[in-house]
Structure 1
């Protein structure tokens, strides 16, 4: 018999983290800057816990966008700073600042396809 006082996590109805925008704030390939030091929380095995992996102000590019537990958006960022201990790391939206304007790549591709199909006669 189930205990009615136990609250279960409903991943289908879960909302995004309060620190994330409704839609992705950054796009693939966008240049970004890190707003705070990223320290090893123990998930990176080659550095001591608490050591700085990538320094505040480092610049990189968004490689992919994913979700952690379906509610926290994580951006995989490739940092090109030669002083960084780690080159690729997952970052949250509030840890990053865009260094170039946002582009809706899906809308751009759709517009290109529509224009291309008008030019072609089948």
Structure 2
């Protein structure tokens, strides 16, 4: 099934805050499954914008606290 290309709303370098708690979905083997990685309202910076290839959904790599980079969906973040 092919999806229409969805253009990203946000750009590299933007400051954003989380709209939800970000938990480990298995992407971080050093953290327990479902462990809290970033709390609600935490501010980070978009360091890369990509796309989920199967659904053409924008994915934002957001750096939090200068140490943790997490892939986020548009619904999980907003500009500050």
Assess same fold via TM > 0.5. Answer: yes
Does 2:39 correspond to 1:23? no
Q: Equivalents in 2 of 1:23, 1:50: separation in Å?
A: 29
Query: How far did residue 27 of structure 1 move?
Result: 1.1
Q: Residues 59-74 of structure 1: matches in 2 within 5 Å?
A: 59-70=43-54, 71-74=56-59
Which residue, 1, 8, 23 being the options, matches 1:39?
A: 23
When Rg is computed on C-alpha atoms for both structures, the one with the higher figure is: 1
8 Å CA contact 2:7, 2:58 repeated in 1 = no
- Report the alpha carbon displacement of residue 44 of structure 1 after superposing the two structures with TM: 1.3
Structure 1: segments with no counterpart, 5+ residues:
1-8, 17-21, 100-122
**RCO higher in structure (CA 8 A, sep ≥6):** 2
More helix by share: 1
Distance between the aligned counterparts of 2:27 and 2:44, measured in 1? 21
User: What's the Cα RMSD here?
Assistant: 1.7
- Please give the secondary structure, in 2, of the residue aligned with 1:77: strand
What pairs up with 1:1-122 in 2 under 5 angstroms? 9-10=1-2, 14-16=3-5, 22-70=6-54, 71-80=56-65, 87-99=68-80
